[in-house]
Structure 1
Amino acid sequence: MPAKPAHGRHDHSSEAPLFFALSKTIGVALLPINLLVELGIVSVVLMATRFAAFGRRLAVTTLVLLALAAFSPLGNLLIYPLESRFPAWDASRGAPDGIIVLGGSVDTDLSAAHRTPVVAHAADRLFAPAELARRYPNARIVFTGGSANLVSSEAREADYSAPILENLGIAKDRLILERNSRNTWENAIFTKQLVSPKPGERWLLVTSAFHMPRSMGIFRKAGFEVEAYPVDWRMGGREDLFSFTNMGADGLRRTEVAVREWIGLTAYRLMGRISELLPGPGRD
């Protein structure tokens, strides 16, 4: 049966409550879409005061920033260094002993409301381990993901992702579920505690390509050496850097994803939970 750590784990390895709360409030407020809406509201309010001139300038600035985020290659330029940091995994190095899958695909609130798994995005994070499981039948499969909400509920991503992985062909008795983590730091800490990796074992880490630098840096800092298996790319490659196709809503979403990740990298570097701002493949 899948191994599950005890409910309500709280120890020195858990994310600091203040940092977690700030990441879900101030961190979210600084994301491009939210920040632009906030600036737009402030500009409208200022126009009704003696600071109307400043309000008008702020409104123009907000519109320019919105246009840059949605209709320029800004999102491509921000996300490319993240996605290109780690190359595709080299299968010639031999079979892995284990495969770690980071959560982030399933919407726990919608899944709980409809009583069925709802995949909101990054479905490749679920497809890739199913293929790897078929290719490497002796590898252990770990899914790590609990509730990322500021106010946690009993809905845990691991519980809803497990049936998807089983339907994709992974036997239930191969799945190890880590269901208490709320973010990538806790993914690394709790997974290491759960599987107790032995010296010489090789573990793959499956997550979105743009999220891989931060994830690898965090796992290294936690003392869990893993090999990058990036999936869920948002760009084709360097040739897309200055592309003006798929702009508008797609461009805005790409900018949002990239800015969120750069904020995360900066915050974790300042906290000492990664050793460099943009971890690379040097230690693979």
Structure 2
Amino acid sequence: MFFYLAKVLWFVLQPSTLIALLIGYGAILIWTGWARWGRRFVTVGAILLLIAGLSPLGNALILPLEDRFPRAGIAAPPPPTGIIILGGAEDRLVGSARQAPTLNEAGERLLEGAILAHKFPEAKIAFSGGDAGVLYKSDSEAEGAAALLTQLGIDRDRLILEADARDTYENAVYLKKELTARGELDLTKRWLLITSAYHMPRAIGAFRQAGFWVEPWPVDYRTRGSADLTRPFDKVSEGLRRVDVASREWVGLFAYWMTGRTDALFPGPDEGAPDCAPAAPGATPPDSRPACPDRPSP
């Protein structure tokens, strides 16, 4: 129920839709006895369209999300046990029809997953993503991801596919259940989480709430950093889309927190850590937690 309600509410509440409704409603009123109000609505809508479409507003909204989690330190041992890739990088409706890979602007999730898979040849690769379509159904993202990853040279035996999740919280819950059943989940093992940088706070919060400690590996950055706080957009459509993407994450964080799907309103790097972390002889744990007792301490 949460999944469908979120889809419907966000379609109505996203900034681009609200602006379009404001202008459209105003245009209708202009031809009625409420013409003065119609002109006001159209004027306000046009101003909001220009602000959202051309100003750096979208960058200002998305930058705190992207900067919230730095990449985990993977140079020091122990190496990752596994690498988690969240869905959202494919258009399976087109891909299944064309029988071809159809990556969208979040395609770095799969690309970076393949790069790390080759860098850590012993690590498992877990992908979580089902069919999140409402009006148009397709096969699961997991099927497309498996085909692409194997074509990129990843052994099929290394892949762990979860094909039922439709949102971030389900990614965490279903993947934890799958990995626990396989004996791949305990405090002695390191799992990296790959998702878009702006999506990482909500993803980390959902995984922590599900009792699954992961280390962030953000990708798909949309900004260079604070320098983009003064960079206007040269296309209204791009600026408006940036505002939509960022707003969706902020609203998603609030909704997840209100419904108990995240452990904090704005999850941070040091919140909710378990009592210990995996470590190898002669090495320090990958974060501030002490080494787990079933592994030798430095």
Q: TM-score, normalised on structure 2?
A: 0.86
What corresponds to 1:267 in structure 2? 255
CA offset digits 1:58-111 (Å, max 9, x no partner) = 111001111111111100110000000001221234211111000001112111
What corresponds to 2:71 in structure 1? 88
The answer to whether 1:64 aligns with 2:47 is: yes
Aligned-partner residue type, residue 25 of structure 1: V
The answer to whether 1:156 aligns with 2:144 is: no
What corresponds to 2:110 in structure 1? 126
What corresponds to 2:172 in structure 1? 188
What corresponds to 1:176 in structure 2? 160
What corresponds to 1:238 in structure 2? 226
Q: CA deviation at 1:152?
A: 6.8
2:11 to 11, 25, 28: 28
Q: How does 1:101-112 map to 2 (within 5 A)?
A: 101-112=85-96
**1:87 counterpart SS class:** coil
Report the Cα distance in structure 2 between the residues aligned to 1:93 and 1:273, rounded to whole angstroms.
Answer: 32
Report the Cα distance in structure 2 between the residues aligned to 1:146 and 1:206, rounded to whole angstroms.
Answer: 16
Unaligned runs of 5+ in 1: 1-16
Report the Cα distance in structure 1 between the residues aligned to 2:104 and 2:171, rounded to whole angstroms.
Answer: 20
Report the Cα distance in structure 1 between the residues aligned to 2:58 and 2:235, rounded to whole angstroms.
Answer: 9
The answer to whether 1:40 aligns with 2:28 is: no
1:166 to 150, 153, 168: 150
Report the Cα distance in structure 2 between the residues aligned to 1:52 and 1:152, rounded to whole angstroms.
Answer: 39
Aligned-partner residue type, residue 88 of structure 1: R
Report the Cα distance in structure 2 between the residues aligned to 1:45 and 1:131, rounded to whole angstroms.
Answer: 53
**2:83 counterpart SS class:** strand
Report the Cα distance in structure 1 between the residues aligned to 2:225 and 2:140, rounded to whole angstroms.
Answer: 34
The answer to whether 1:143 aligns with 2:127 is: yes
Q: TM-score, normalised on structure 1?
A: 0.90
Report the Cα distance in structure 2 between the residues aligned to 1:49 and 1:151, rounded to whole angstroms.
Answer: 35
**1:82 counterpart SS class:** helix
Report the Cα distance in structure 2 between the residues aligned to 1:273 and 1:198, rounded to whole angstroms.
Answer: 21
2:38 to 55, 70, 75: 55
Q: Cα–Cα, structure 1 residues 275 and 100, in superposed 2: closer, same or farther, change >3 Å?
A: same
Q: CA deviation at 1:116?
A: 2.4
Aligned-partner residue type, residue 195 of structure 2: T
CA offset digits 1:242-262 (Å, max 9, x no partner) = 222555332222111101111
Kept after mapping to 2: 8 A contact 1:43/1:56: yes
Structure 1 consecutive aligned stretches of length 4 or more whose deviation exceeds 6 Å: none
Q: CA deviation at 1:162?
A: 1.2
Residue identity (%): 44
Aligned-partner residue type, residue 82 of structure 1: L
Larger-gyration structure (1/2) = 2
Q: CA deviation at 1:154?
A: 4.8
Kept after mapping to 2: 8 A contact 1:89/1:230: no
Kept after mapping to 1: 8 A contact 2:96/2:138: no
Aligned-partner residue type, residue 217 of structure 1: G
**Mean alpha-carbon deviation: is it higher for 216-225 or for 196-205?**
196-205
Report the Cα distance in structure 1 between the residues aligned to 2:92 and 2:12, rounded to whole angstroms.
Answer: 22
What corresponds to 2:192 in structure 1? 204
1:115 to 81, 99, 103: 99
Q: How many pairs are equivalent?
A: 267
Report the Cα distance in structure 2 between the residues aligned to 1:36 and 1:93, rounded to whole angstroms.
Answer: 49
Larger relative CO (CA 8 A, sep 6+): 1 or 2?
A: 1
Kept after mapping to 2: 8 A contact 1:72/1:247: no
What corresponds to 2:216 in structure 1? 228
Q: CA deviation at 1:117?
A: 2.6
Aligned-partner residue type, residue 256 of structure 1: D
Aligned-partner residue type, residue 49 of structure 1: T
Say what the alpha-carbon RMSD is for the aligned residues: 1.5
